[in-house]
Amino acid sequence: MTDRELDEVLTHLWPIVLRRAMADGSDEWLKGFVKSIARHSKRATWRPTRKQEQIMRRLVSEVRTSPVPELDLIER
């Protein structure tokens, strides 16, 4: 992953991945992983390991291809 790709993922797409993982709530490992990446990414010198990068790419790909979930309105 190039520096530019990493910046794009962490700035634009990772917040979406994080929100979806927290909203799903069923996979504790996934929630821990996305929170860990968000924490580590705050350090300027941090780079994902090869395995982290593979998982990150898969999650970002899922976000890009899945439809936006419909919001459930409080009042109808």
Tell me which residues of the chain have a pLDDT lower than 50.
Answer: none
pLDDT for 70 equals: 66
DSSP string covering 56-76, please? Answer: HHHHHHHHHHSPPPPP--S--
Helices (H), 9-49: 14-24, 28-40
pLDDT for 38 equals: 94
Provide the residue type at 64 as one letter. R
